[in-house]
Structures are given as structure tokens and as C-alpha cells.
Amino acid sequence: MLATHIIKRSSFLISWSRRNPFTSSSIIKHIFPFQHIMAIHMKGRCVCKNLQYSLDLEKEEDARTTLCHCKSCRRAFGTNYGLTAKVPLGSFKYESGIPKKHRQENGVTREFCDNCGAFICEYGEAAADKFRYIMWGTLDEPEKVPPKGEFFCKYRTDWMPEIPGTFKKNEIKE
């Protein structure tokens, strides 16, 4: 009964908020206090399991997975692109272990396991207090956050096809 009531209220609220440009997330949370039921909880870890983390996202859109073809990501990932999911800093939490940090000359900091070497996340100076870019392959269920776009496409290798249905940018800011 409660679940049916929540679903009906949720459907009404979503259709109402799409029609009403004056809605905000705080108004929606006030009107629909059960919204937390729809939250997304994810877990991830390094190879040796010393570092384990969790993500608590309010909605699926809070995670933006992208491929990055920049030279820094290619070198750090050891392949032709980096694959990360951008999440709000407040949604990311280490559950066990303390990461080692390495700051590159370009200002990007990467956090990794000092035992197995697996990268867990990265962030630039401007994003340090706002976001974490989670290494997609460290998620236990990465398919929950499929790629939405590609950055630095001008560096994409010739033999790598574009990812259909995603945005493409030659730089970060275009």
C-alpha cells in the first residue's frame, strides 16, 4: 500500500515538475519526503580490496560518466582513453583504507591504493572541493552509469570509433 502510494505521488510529482518551471529540488523534497527511497547506492574497490568506497547519489543524473582522450588520461590509464564517473564530493566516501595521493604537474590529483596500485578517483584543482571523478572500472556495478560523453576527441586515436548517442567535445570547455 505504501509503495503504491509512493509510486503514484512520484509519478504525479515528476509530471508536474516537468510542466512547472518554478519547481526546485528543495520544493520537491518538501512535497515528496519519500524521495530518498529512490536514491542510488553503489560500492567500489581497488583490486586487493584494501580501499573500498561507497557512493550515495540522489538520482542517476548525479553521476556523469565520460571518456577522456587527453594525453594525461591516456598515460595514467595506460590505454587510449580514461573512463570516469563524475560524482558530487558529498556522495563519495571511503569505507575502508586510506588512499595514497599523487598530484601531477597539470594540477590533477589521483588517489590510489598503495598496495595494488589501482586508481580510485581523480580531481583537478577547480573540482577538489566539489567533485570526484571515480575510475569507472573500480565500481562493483559500473554498467549502472553508462557513458554520456567524450572529451578531448581531437586526441582520439584513429582506430577508436565514437561512442554512439553521447556528446563529443574537442576540449573540456567548448
Domain ranges of the chain: 2-37, 39-168
- What phi and psi values does residue 151 have, to the nearest 5 degrees? -115, 160
Question: pTM of the predicted model, to two decimals?
Answer: 0.75
pLDDT on residue 82: 95
Query: Length of the chain in residues, anyone?
Result: 174
Task: Render pLDDT for 142-161 as a digit per residue (tens, 0 to 9).
Answer: 999 999 999 999 999 999 99
Q: Which amino acid is at 68?
A: C
pLDDT on residue 70: 93
Could you give the 3-state DSSP secondary structure of residue 108? Answer: coil
In whole angstroms, what is the distance from residue 114 CA to residue 102 CA? 11
In whole angstroms, what is the distance from residue 53 CA to residue 46 CA? 9
Place of cell 548525479: 62
Q: What is the CATH topology of the domain spanning 39-168?
A: 2.170.150
pLDDT on residue 84: 97
Enumerate the β-bridge partners of residue 64: 86
Task: Render pLDDT for 34-73 as a digit per residue (tens, 0 to 9).
Answer: 444 468 899 999 999 999 999 999 988 899 999 999 999 9
pLDDT on residue 2: 39
87 vs 5 pLDDT, higher one: 87
When pLDDT is averaged across residues 13-30 and rounded to a whole number, the result is 42
Task: Render pLDDT for 82-121 as a digit per residue (tens, 0 to 9).
Answer: 999 999 999 999 999 999 999 999 899 999 999 999 999 9
Give the model's confidence band at 79: pLDDT under 50 very low, under 70 low, under 90 confident, else very high. very high
In whole angstroms, what is the distance from residue 87 CA to residue 98 CA? 19
pLDDT beyond 80 at 138 = yes
pLDDT on residue 99: 98
pLDDT on residue 8: 42
pLDDT on residue 172: 76
Contacts of 155 (CB under 8 A, 6+ apart): 69, 70, 71, 74
Residue 96 grid coordinates: 575502508
- What phi and psi values does residue 5 have, to the nearest 5 degrees? -65, -45
